[in-house]
Amino acid sequence: MKKTAAISALLLLAGVTPVLAQSCDEFWYQRNMIFKEAGYCFKTAKAIRNFGNAGCRYDDQADVPLSARQRAEIAEITSMERAMRCAP
């Protein structure tokens, strides 16, 4: 996708390491995988279908214990999603 390549190139020039995803779906998956691994209980049918809720422990994303690195990665992914105008 040309748009993604252009955004990644701009981020590299700005000294920002782009997330490895190439599409909105991949960004969505990467972001939610972080929450899944940390024990988040998903609400949407799409997320439950993709990740399930077995073993989940946190109903509110704000309660999910994330490391500073995980929070930074989520922020970077969210920024890329906004830049690509991915649907919420």
| Exposed / middle / buried, residue 15 (Cβ in 10 Å: 0-12, 13-18, 19+) | exposed
Q: Residue 25's pLDDT is what?
A: 93
pLDDT band at 20 (very low <50, low <70, confident <90, very high): low
pTM: 0.74
Measure CA 45 to chain center. Answer: 17
Which pLDDT band, with edges at 50, 70 and 90, does 9 fall under?
low
Per-residue pLDDT tens over the stretch 38-76: 999 999 999 999 999 999 999 999 999 999 999 999 999
The ranges assigned to domains in the chain are 2-83
Q: Of 32, 37, 39, 31, nearest to 59 (Cα)?
A: 39
Phi-psi label, residue 83: left if phi above 0, alpha if psi -120 to 50, beta otherwise: alpha
- pLDDT averaged over every residue in the chain: 84
pLDDT for 64? 97
